[in-house]
Amino acid sequence: MSVTIKDVARAAGVSVATVSRVLNSSATVSEATAQQVNDAIDALGYSPNFLGRNLRKCETNKILAVIPSTEHTFYSDILRGLQDAASPVYDVIISTSHSYLATEMRLLNMLFNRTVDAAVLLGTQLDADKLNELNGKYNLALCCERVEGAKLLTVTIDDEKGAYDATEVLIKKGHKRIGLVTAANSAPSSTDREKGYRAALSKHGIGFDDSIVYRGSYDYEDGAMGYHKLMNAPEPPTAIFCISDILAVGTVRCAHEDGLEVGKDIDVMGFDNTTLSKIYIPGITTVAQPGYEMGFTVMKKLLENMSSEYKDNSHIKLSHSIVSRESARLDDAVK
Amino acid sequence: MSVTIKDVARAAGVSVATVSRVLNSSATVSEATAQQVNDAIDALGYSPNFLGRNLRKCETNKILAVIPSTEHTFYSDILRGLQDAASPVYDVIISTSHSYLATEMRLLNMLFNRTVDAAVLLGTQLDADKLNELNGKYNLALCCERVEGAKLLTVTIDDEKGAYDATEVLIKKGHKRIGLVTAANSAPSSTDREKGYRAALSKHGIGFDDSIVYRGSYDYEDGAMGYHKLMNAPEPPTAIFCISDILAVGTVRCAHEDGLEVGKDIDVMGFDNTTLSKIYIPGITTVAQPGYEMGFTVMKKLLENMSSEYKDNSHIKLSHSIVSRESARLDDAVK
DNA sequence: TTGTATGCGTTATCAC
DNA sequence: GTGATAACGCATACAA
């Protein structure tokens, strides 16, 4: 068995209460006894068992971040923001749901069984009712994805406005035929972006045409399939707006294989401003989310909720920006 | 306060022991009482507080995976392997060290304070002495990075052989002047790869030339800087071997900006077979690590160690392969 | 099959 | 400034 606070107390010739006090500097202990205790700790190589402490204090100082997967770097900045805002009081531990409801629920067990103090979901499969129920009993927040009807702390950008701006910028560049590559699921971030796309077209008197809209999944391969559908339409687009950088990259690669020069023969626009969009050839013009700030903000608000009687369940929207690169060159006038 | 096992016992009209028994199906409970207990659990919305259970059983069923960052997708497959091998008994929780020793130690506190049952390090800043010390007291393993002199369970590929094969394949393709872009640090995976590179040159009677070797960091930008150094050498290389895909991408992008067609005017080879290498234009020829298998293997062995008296501290090397893409076209004869 | 009682390692309350 | 001791929620050895 490992060394406990009792062993330290015995070795230092004091009570366990005193050891606990120097451990937590929770009360005044005389210089001399503190010294003895610390010596004993060093001598025995003692480190406190937090299972006991956590049980007693009914807190773990851990916060769970649930992400769909580590395959996409999009969450990286958000996670840094989360960690920086939580540190040094809380450790952020990450786990992946692979976008499965069952896996997500299994991870949320950590919340139910008190193994973490709170959780922030970077995307979720849960519906509004379930989220509301959980938010009533536990400390919970959403980041970078909202859920219609869910009344809990949420931090995102304005996806609709982001897509609107992206589309409008292409229109102002002279495009009259703009395709859309999006996801078939009903995630609000997807539907919001389509809404923004449609609104921009409408605003500028361009009709919506389903033959140049592709709805698939979120993978690289879907960008490729989207490209093929759109370019085989009766009247192909001259620009394509993709609701994620991954999709944009899939699209760009296909266009390239087709012999088109992206940024000249055709414009492609992404979303998220991931590292990928920056280092790709050509660089992908994209809508940037303030990932670090989003993570930092949601964690800061969550901690406030945890130490307050009043719970702020508001939906905070941070502002996006458009990053011009080679896949769709935007001059300053357009931006 | 939340509902405890006592409340359930009272509601079901049984003792806490009986409730515990149905919770853990640890002993035979009559059908009838089990029913009562389960009804009470449902009625009260009870879920067990694992802090109590963990303290009592002295185990958490959690295993910590420490990764440098979520910015690179390289760890994704490994993590999946870890999770699949651990499931369903253990949850794998992930945390990022950002390659800082202090942060890594802080995360390892979870091991010291018994908040996790074991840890696997996907890279580490610790030296052999410290690792050996920790491995004596805790359940620990290394994956995809070895440490010279450390006697603990380690799963990697044979980095030296991987680099040897990569270099030799370029030589067999006809290259006599092959540059190297590597990392300046002393991580064994880096130095092993340089060793393999040198060995292949030597084996084929090609002299080592420091003017076409660049040592920087691991970032995309270092690939760019490496390219510039190498191409400005008195006698520039006709092929460049980079010890990671990220570096290769940085290199390729610069070559492209220089007006060179990679895969024709110059060959570039990467390492890791990340998603990036697959979707880049051009696709990056690279050395593939069996990430999923590495993760699965190290977790399987670690669990064996945990449930056994004898601790297997061996260093397991899984086999790599070379994936031919456009950045260095390898015909079958060469491979 | 079930209940009683003890202890896991710690913190906090109360005395002194 | 310090020491007993109860309590946190649970699992289990032992009785019954």
Report DSSP letters for A127-154, one per residue.
-HHHHHHHHHHS-EEEES---TT--S-E
Q: What is the C-alpha separation between A146 and A157, in angstroms, rounded?
A: 10
Q: Which residue is nearest to nucleotide D11 (CA to C1')?
A: B56
Q: Which of B98, B40, B288, B281 lies closest to A256 in space, CA to CA?
A: B281
Give me A197's structure tokens: 């796309």
A220 contact B CB<8A: yes
Instruction: Using CB atoms, pick whichever of A47, A51, A253 lies closest to residue B54.
Output: A51
CA-based nearest distance B193→chain A, Å:
25
- pLDDT given at position B185: 82
Q: B33 CA, C3 C1': separation in Å? A: 14
Q: Which residue has the higher pLDDT, A335 or A198?
A: A198
Q: What is the C-alpha separation between A215 and A14, in angstroms, rounded?
A: 70
A100 contact B CB<8A: no
Q: A42 CA, D14 C1': separation in Å? A: 39
Give me A301's structure tokens: 């608000």
* B269 has pLDDT over 60: yes
Residues B141, B155: contact at Cβ < 8 Å? yes
Q: Which residues contact A257 (CB under 8 A, 6 or more apart)?
A: none
* CA distances (Å), origin A208, targets A171, A188, A200, A203, A240: 13, 20, 10, 11, 13
Q: Which residues contact A132 (CB under 8 A, 6 or more apart)?
A: A149, A150, A151, A152
Protein CB footprint (7 Å) on chain C nucleotides: 1-5, 7-13
Instruction: Using CB atoms, pick whichever of A51, A58, A75 lies closest to residue B55.
Output: A51
* B332 has pLDDT over 80: no
Q: Residue holding tokens 């709170």?
A: A118
Task: Sort out which chain B residues have CB atoms less than 8 A from A114's CB and list them.
Answer: 2, 49-51
Task: Sort out which chain B residues have CB atoms less than 8 A from A52's CB and list them.
Answer: 55
Q: Residue holding tokens 């202090």?
A: B102
B249 contact A CB<8A: yes
- pLDDT given at position A309: 87
CA-based nearest distance A207→chain B, Å:
33
Q: Residue holding tokens 């299972």?
A: A51
* B334 has pLDDT over 60: no
CA atoms within 13 A on the CB side of B24: 12
Question: How many other C-beta atoms are found inside a 10 Å radius of the C-beta of residue B16?
Answer: 14
Supply φ then ψ for residue A225, to 5 degrees: -65, -35
Question: How many other C-beta atoms are found inside a 10 Å radius of the C-beta of residue B248?
Answer: 32
Poorest-pLDDT segment among A247-251, A305-309, B77-81, B200-204: A305-309
- pLDDT given at position B1: 56
- pLDDT given at position A164: 98
CA atoms within 13 A on the CB side of A174: 9
CA-based nearest distance A201→chain B, Å:
31
Instruction: Using CB atoms, pick whichever of A75, A95, A106 lies closest to residue B93.
Output: A95
Average pLDDT over residues B275-279: 95
pLDDT tens readout for residues A13-72? 999 999 999 999 888 899 999 999 999 999 999 999 999 999 999 999 999 999 999 998
Q: What is the C-alpha separation between A80 and A333, in angstroms, rounded?
A: 34
Supply φ then ψ for residue B145, to 5 degrees: -155, 130
Q: What is the C-alpha separation between A227 and A181, in angstroms, rounded?
A: 8
* A335 has pLDDT over 70: no
Task: Sort out which chain A residues have CB atoms less than 8 A from B68's CB and list them.
Answer: none
Instruction: Using CB atoms, pick whichever of A72, A76, A114 lies closest to residue B69.
Output: A76
B314 contact A CB<8A: no
- pLDDT given at position A49: 98
B51 touches strand D (CB under 7 A): yes
Which domains, and CATH codes, for chain B?
A: 5-48 (1.10.260.40), 58-157+291-319 (3.40.50.2300), 159-289+322-332 (3.40.50.2300)
Task: Sort out which chain A residues have CB atoms less than 8 A from B75's CB and list them.
Answer: 70
Task: Sort out which chain B residues have CB atoms less than 8 A from A248's CB and list them.
Answer: none
pLDDT tens readout for residues B280-310? 999 999 999 999 999 999 999 999 999 998 9
Q: CB less than 7 Å from strand C: which protein residues?
A: A 1-2, 4-6, 16-17, 20, 23-24, 26, 48-53, 55-57; B 13-18, 21, 27-30, 32-34, 52, 55-56, 58
Q: Which long-range contacts (CB under 8 A, 24 or more apart) does A37-41 make?
A: A37/A8, A37/A12, A39/A12, A40/A8, A40/A11, A40/A12, A41/A8
- pLDDT given at position B26: 82
Give me B303's structure tokens: 């669990």
Q: Where are the beta strands (DSSP E) in A221-266?
A: 239-242
Phi-psi region of A53 (alpha: psi -120 to 50; beta: other; left: phi over 0): alpha
Instruction: Using CB atoms, pick whichever of B60, B67, B70 lies closest to residue A75.
Output: B70
Nucleotide with C1' nearest the B18 CA: C2
Interface test with B, best of A4, A80, A115 (most B CBs within 10 A): A115
The pLDDT-based confidence of A254 (bands split at 50, 70, 90) is very high
Full-model pTM: 0.95
Residues A298, A241: contact at Cβ < 8 Å? no
Interface of B with A in 104-133 (CB under 8 A): 106-107, 109-110, 112-115
Average pLDDT over residues A150-159: 98
B26 contact A CB<8A: no
Residues B121, B141: contact at Cβ < 8 Å? yes
Residue of B nearest to A117 (CA): B51
Angle at B218 between CA A90 and CA A282, to 5 degrees: 105
- What's the burial of A247, exposed, middle or buried (CB within 10 Å: 0-12/13-18/19+)? buried
Interface test with A, best of B281, B284, B326 (most A CBs within 10 A): B281
Q: Which of A290, A327, A287, A320 lies closest to A167 in space, CA to CA?
A: A287
The pLDDT-based confidence of B25 (bands split at 50, 70, 90) is confident
Report the 3 state secondary structure along A255-317: HHHCCCCECCCEEEEEEECCHHHHHCCCCCEEEECCHHHHHHHHHHHHHHHHCCCCCCCCEEE
Residue of A nearest to B223 (CA): A279
Give me A144's structure tokens: 């970078």
Average pLDDT over residues A87-94: 97
Q: Which of B275, B113, B87, B105 lies closest to A95 in space, CA to CA?
A: B87
- pLDDT given at position A231: 98
Average pLDDT over residues B132-138: 97
Phi-psi region of B61 (alpha: psi -120 to 50; beta: other; left: phi over 0): left
Q: Which of B107, B49, B315 lies closest to A94 in space, CA to CA?
A: B107
Q: Residue holding tokens 């980095």?
A: B159
Q: What is the C-alpha separation between B99 and B68, in angstroms, rounded?
A: 5
Nucleotide with C1' nearest the A53 CA: C10
pLDDT tens readout for residues A180-237? 999 998 799 999 999 999 999 999 999 999 999 999 999 999 999 999 999 999 999 9
- pLDDT given at position B28: 80
Give me B5's structure tokens: 């096992």
Give me B282's structure tokens: 């051009």
CA atoms within 13 A on the CB side of B298: 39
* B161 has pLDDT over 70: yes
Q: B67 CA, C8 C1': separation in Å? A: 32
Average pLDDT over residues A286-294: 98
Q: A329 CA, D9 C1': separation in Å? A: 62
Q: What is the C-alpha separation between A154 and A57, in angstroms, rounded?
A: 28
Task: Sort out which chain B residues have CB atoms less than 8 A from A220's CB and list them.
Answer: 275, 279
* CA distances (Å), origin B108, targets A2, B111, B115, B120, B304: 17, 5, 10, 10, 21
Q: Which residues contact A165 (CB under 8 A, 6 or more apart)?
A: A196, A200, A287, A320, A322
* A334 has pLDDT over 90: no
Q: Which residues contact B293 (CB under 8 A, 6 or more apart)?
A: B81, B318
Q: Please, what sign has the CA dihedral across residues A212, A216, A218, A221? A: negative
Provide the 8-state DSSP code for B262.
Answer: B
| CA gyration radius, chain B | 26
The pLDDT-based confidence of B40 (bands split at 50, 70, 90) is very high
